[in-house]
Amino acid sequence: MRGKITDQDLTNYALNDGMDPHERLYVESMLAVSEECRQDIYRNIEMTQMLETGFERLYGESAPTLTPDQREALMHPPQRPFVLATISRAAAVLAMAACAAFALANPSLWQTESNPKPWRRSPRGPRSSWRLSRPARIPGSLRSRCRPSPNKSTH
């Protein structure tokens, strides 16, 4: 049960960064009832400690840090305008419709037989009866196997 907590909220909580007191209280209340959220927090804290240890070994005390502007840009990414998102979704739907129309308009691309409707309703009998519109053809190699050989006699 996650409620309205995002992965970003859990990361901010684990890093003790970028949360106002109301958000922090909400995340803590969700952690009290959700085992999944607690496990995510534990994994984030372990990962953070592992990275800090690795950077300390690599750089010593002078580990690179983000500037306040970089931190602000990461915490608040630019939102994509609603109009552009709507236009891109509409373009995707129209492209799929155009592909389907193209495939339906050119059956030679997807049909394997010369007869586009090999099955048709039988003019006689119940409506549920179906039959081939033309007799089935047996290839020559199979036809010779199906016929009894004239040399063999049947007793």
CA distance 133 to 131: 6
pLDDT tens by residue, 34-54: 888 888 888 888 988 898 888
Give mean pLDDT, residues 8-27. Answer: 83
The residue with greater pLDDT, 70 or 148, is 70
| 58-72, 108-122, 134-148: least confident range | 134-148
The residue with greater pLDDT, 83 or 145, is 83
| 15-24, 39-48, 103-112, 127-136: least confident range | 127-136
pLDDT band at 114 (very low <50, low <70, confident <90, very high): low
Which pLDDT score is estimated for 69? 92
Is the pLDDT reported for residue 96 higher than 80? yes
Which pLDDT score is estimated for 94? 96
The full DSSP string for the chain is --TT--HHHHHHHHHT-S--HHHHHHHHHHHHH-HHHHHHHHHHHHHHHHHHHHHHHHHTT------HHHHHHHHSPPPPPHHHHHHHHHHHHHHHHHHHHHHHH-GGGT--SS-S--EEE-SSS-TT-EEESSPPPPPHHHHHHHSPPTTS---
Is the pLDDT reported for residue 97 higher than 60? yes
Q: Are 48 and 17 a contacting pair, CB within 8 Å?
A: no
Which pLDDT score is estimated for 100? 92
Is the pLDDT reported for residue 28 higher than 80? yes
